[in-house]
Amino acid sequence: MEDMIFYDRLQFAFTITFHYIFPQLTMGLSLMIVYFKWKFLRNKIEKYNNAAKFFMKIFAVNFTMGVITGIPMEFQFGTNWAKFSELTGGIIGQTLAMEGTFSFFLESSFLALFIFGEKLMGQKLHFLTGFLVFLGSWGSGYFILATNAWMQHPVGYEILDNGTYVLENFSALFKNPWLLPTFLHNQMASLITSAFVVASIGAFYILRNKNKEYGKLFLKTGVVFGFTASVLVAFPTGDWNAKNVAKYQPASFAAMEGIFETEPKGAEIVLIGQPNMVEKKLDNKIAVPNILSFLTYQEWDRQILGMDKFKKEELPDNIPALYYAYHIMVGLGTIFIGIMGLSAFFLWRKKLYTIKPLLWGIMFLVPFPYIANLTGWYVAELGRQPYLVYGLLKTSDGISPTVSSGNTLFTLLGFVALYMLLGLLFLVLVGKTIHQGPKPQKH
């Protein structure tokens, strides 16, 4: 049984990790494409229109890869996690169906119109199609996060005699106090990824002395969006999310902050430390007293429960992974504020385009927003363990007993090989698009 749970979780973790590489770019990039198109309508400068169409090409490749890698996850609900689907399908099926019916079709339909319909529709309708692509991509994120929010903090449900969960209050799904902060935090994090991608392409063009006009436009736009999103992802959205975890999942909060023992007055915030699960402490700890209590409750001496106050079965089952994922996410977020803040300062001083070390830094930092987004999701999912639905349904009770660990491992190896090929194809296609650059409109 333990092997089955391990391989089922490992397969889903791999497939969803690879899949989320793509939506985190499309959600943020769709907003930036709308911005470029809006700027073109406003001032009739052609480079903005070309920029919108250029990034829509990257968006389209990214969107296609997201669809391809998203399909296997849906099948896993019926194979590896059939019991979970049977028990909770009456609830999570609502939001997932809405995502597919409303948001996905909206996004995919108008994506084709944006790419191919500019001359036929005219510029205002072309802008509208781009806006609807943005609306669809953010709508998809909202409905999927509504599903996840119910798993993190279940509301509006009723349990039947056979153990099945059914929806008692439909509106409760969207009034869930977990949903809005998670959605806003996730969208700002996605915007950071997109901003770094746009800014890095601009830095690449400037450093190569190629397409410099577009390079300056992309760099400027990426820095402005990136700095704004980097601040917002920390405060208020990140702060809001952390307070939700402290309120609704206190055992997870203690684990991700590395609080092994409850302090009578005030909790310190840990900057550096390594969890020692044998001695139940943090090794080589560097911490600032009372700061965590103030950030969480705005009270310097407020007590925060440590892991010693919870039963073993209430604690996350991989505390070191949760702790490190959280601190990697927070650490990278702090770096993003610093880099984008410095870039915004030099942009304001009109010196950014000539500072090569900073341009190289922006270009080579591109993978790190992806890492920060993924570790952020690891925090959410590892923190919920050992539950699939927090406090209600254990992970061990949601797997399919008829799918062997050997079958799961075999298909996992197949996914690894296939996804590596898809990843290589994606890099080739996007690299080719960047190499060609934004082409001026032909008249």
Task: Give pLDDT, residue 441.
Answer: 46
pLDDT digits (tens, 9 = 90+) for 107-134: 998 999 999 999 999 999 999 999 999 9
Q: Which one-letter amino acid corresponds to residue 281?
A: K
User: How would residue 2 be classed by pLDDT, with cut points 50, 70 and 90?
Assistant: confident
In a domain, 166, yes or no: no
- For residue 270 the two structure tokens come to 């840990």
User: How would residue 3 be classed by pLDDT, with cut points 50, 70 and 90?
Assistant: confident
Measure Cα distances from 262 to 117, 276, 310, 354 in Å. 62, 16, 11, 51
CB 328 within 8 A of CB 372: yes
DSSP 285: E
Has residue 442 got a pLDDT over 60?
A: no
DSSP codes, 219-256: HHHHHHHHHHHHHHHHTTHHHHHHHHHHHH-HHHHHHH
Of 213, 248, 197, nearest in space to 433 by CA: 197
Measure Cα distances from 360 to 213, 338, 363 in Å. 18, 15, 5
Span 95-113, mean pLDDT?
91
Has residue 439 got a pLDDT over 90?
A: no
In a domain, 253, yes or no: yes
Of 224, 219, 216, nearest in space to 191 by CA: 224
In a domain, 72, yes or no: no
Strand partners, 167: 157
Has residue 443 got a pLDDT over 60?
A: no
Instruction: Tell me the C-alpha distance between 78 and 223, whole Å.
Output: 43
In a domain, 240, yes or no: yes
In a domain, 406, yes or no: no
CB 300 within 8 A of CB 293: yes
Question: What's the total number of domains in the chain?
Answer: 1
pLDDT digits (tens, 9 = 90+) for 360-397: 999 999 999 999 999 999 999 999 999 999 999 999 99
Kindly report the length of the chain. 443
In a domain, 167, yes or no: no
Has residue 350 got a pLDDT over 70?
A: yes
Half-sphere exposure of 57 (CA within 13 A, CB side): 16
- For residue 148 the two structure tokens come to 């996840």
Three-state SS for 207? Answer: helix
Q: 0.85 cut: is pTM over it?
A: yes
β-bridge pairing 387-389 and 393-394:
antiparallel
Has residue 58 got a pLDDT over 90?
A: yes
Instruction: Tell me the C-alpha distance between 23 and 21, whole Å.
Output: 6
Task: Give pLDDT, residue 1.
Answer: 62
In a domain, 118, yes or no: no
DSSP codes, 355-416: -HHHHHHHHHTTHHHHHHHHHHHHHHHHHHTTEEETTTEEGGGSS-TTS-HHHHHHHHHHHH
Instruction: Tell me the C-alpha distance between 30 and 12, whole Å.
Output: 27
In a domain, 316, yes or no: yes
Instruction: Tell me the C-alpha distance between 14 and 396, whole Å.
Output: 19
Expressed as residue numbers, the domain containing 203 is 179-393
Of 433, 47, 371, nearest in space to 220 by CA: 47
Of 344, 242, 231, nearest in space to 297 by CA: 242
pLDDT digits (tens, 9 = 90+) for 246-276: 999 999 999 999 999 998 888 999 999 999 9
Mean pLDDT computed over every residue of the chain: 95
Q: Which one-letter amino acid corresponds to residue 136?
A: G
